[in-house]
Amino acid sequence: MTTKHKRPYGAVKKKIRIDFFELIKRLRKSGLNWTDISKYLSRYHAFKVRPKQLKTCFENIQREQN
């Protein structure tokens, strides 16, 4: 039996803020949905994150910046 280790929300949010925020913003402006962005990050950047968590983190970061 294997157990999944989930990264804490803060760690995911920090990684998105530092490494992927501008990329995600560009991908959203180009019309990609959260699922497509999640798949893109997994495929091209080896960063796995669920679409809902990605959306929540991104929107919280965006709110903090304003």
User: Could you read off the pLDDT of 13-55 as tens digits, one per residue?
Assistant: 999 999 999 999 999 999 999 999 999 999 999 999 999 999 9
Q: Would the pLDDT of 2 be above 70?
A: no
How would you write the chain as a 3-class SS string?
A: CCCCCCCCHHHHHHHHHHHHHHHHHHHHHCCCCHHHHHHHHHHHHCCCCCHHHHHHHHHHHHHHHC
Domain range list for the chain: 9-65
pTM across the whole model: 0.85
**How much is the pLDDT for 9?**
77
